[in-house]
Amino acid sequence: MHSTRLDLNLLKLLPALRETRSVSQAAAKLGLSQPGFSSALARLRRQLDDQLFVRTATGMQPTPLAIRLIEGVSHVISTLEGDLATEAEFNPSMLDAPFRIALSDAGEPTIVPPLLDRIVAAAPQSGLIVDAPDPQDLTAVLEAGEIELAIGFYPELRKSTFKRQKLFDTGFTCVAAAGHPAMKDGRISTDAYFHYGHIRIIRAGRSEVALTRFLKKRGYSRRTVLSTPHFLGLPYALNSSDLLATLPSVLADELGERYGLQTAPLPLDVPGFAVSQYWHVRYDRHPRNRWIRRQLAELFLGRG
C-alpha cells in the first residue's frame, strides 16, 4: 500500500464491480459516469498497490485482495442500510426490483404460485426471478448477493455465514399412472417398487441424492429406465408407461391431483427432509429480505 490514508469512499466501487463484472454497469449502479468510475478505481489501485480486478473473457474478475475487501465492505454497507431502513416504515409497494430466489424445479409448483400472488399484491412494481444454480455454486451466489434466498433442502448451507428457517417437513412418495398394477389400495410392495423401472430426475436436488444414498446403504438400487433433468414431461411419461417415479411428497401430491396420477407411500421407512429458507447473515436485518422471508413463513411454516 502506497499510503496509509486510504479513501474509504472508494471501497464501495468493489462490490458493484464484482456484482456486474462491467465498469460501465458498475458505474451506472452507483450513479457515476464511466470515466469517473475508472478514475476512482485507478486511484484505489494505486493506494492498495493491487490490480483489484482483471479483465477476462467472462468480465472483470476480482483479485484475492479485492475478494477479502469486498467481504468486509459488503457486510458494513448492508448492515448500515438495513439498520437505517429499519428505522423508517418499510413499504413494499415502493419496491421496483424483482426478488431473486434459488429454487429447484421440484419446489416451483408448490412455492412459486402463492409467493408470486403475495408479491404482485403487495409490491406490484416488483416481481420474482427464480434461478436454479448448480449446488456447488449456491454458496458463492448467496455470498455475492446475486440470490437473496435459497429455498429447499441444502445441508451445505448450514454454516455460520448463513441463517436458516425451517418451513416444513416432507418425505417421499411413489407416483405412477392411474390403475398401475403395482399400486393396490394406495400401497406398493417392496418387491414391486424395485421390479418396475423408474424415472429419475437428475437435477432434483439434494433430496434425490439423500434418497439414493439411503437405498444404497441398505443394498437396494432402483432400475432407471429414463433419466431427465426436467419435471415438465414426467406426468406424461408416467401416464404412457408402467414406470414409477419417487418425488418429494409435496410435489407428488400436486402432480397427482393435477394429472390424475396414483400415489403411494414408499414401502421402506425412508427419512424425510426439511424444506427451509436460507439467507446470508449480512441480510438478516435488511427490511427487503426480512419482508420476503416473512411472506414465505406465513405461507408455508408448518405446512408439511
Domains of the chain with bracketed CATH: 8-87 (1.10.10.10), 92-169+274-300 (3.40.190.10), 172-271 (3.40.190.10)
State the DSSP code for 244: E
Q: What mean pLDDT comes out for the span 166-175? A: 94
* Confidence tier at 114 by pLDDT (50, 70, 90): very high
- Whole-model pTM: value is 0.68
**How many alpha carbons lie under 13 Å from residue 272 in its C-beta half-sphere?**
13
Sign of CA dihedral 159, 162, 168, 171: negative
106 vs 285, more confident: 285
Residue 37 contacts residue 23 (beta carbons within 8 Å): yes
Looking at residue 100, its pLDDT comes to 93
Of 56 and 121, the structure prediction assigns the larger pLDDT to: 121
Confidence of residue 202 (pLDDT cuts 50, 70, 90): confident
DSSP 8-state code for residue 90: P
Confidence band, pLDDT 50/70/90 cuts, at residue 87: very low
3-state secondary structure of 292: helix
Q: Report the pLDDT value the prediction gives residue 88, as an integer from 0 to 100.
A: 53
Distance, CA of 34 to CA of 221 (rounded, Å) = 58
Whole-Å CA distances, 62 to 8, 49, 53, 93, 143? 18, 14, 4, 35, 14
Mean pLDDT, range 276-289, rounded to an integer: 91
Question: Strand 198-201's sheet: what is its strand order?
Answer: 224-228, 198-201, 244-248, 172-176, 262-265
CA distance 52 to 66: 5
Does 3 have pLDDT greater than 50?
no
| Beta bridge mates, 56 | 59
Q: Within the chain, where are the H helices?
A: 13-20, 23-30, 34-48, 64-87, 108-122, 135-143, 190-195, 206-217, 234-239, 249-259, 287-300
User: pLDDT averaged over the chain?
Assistant: 87
Of 76-85, 134-143, 167-176, 223-232, minimum mean pLDDT range? 76-85
By DSSP bridging, strand 262-265 and strand 172-176 are: antiparallel
Question: What would the grid cell of residue 29 be?
Answer: 449502479
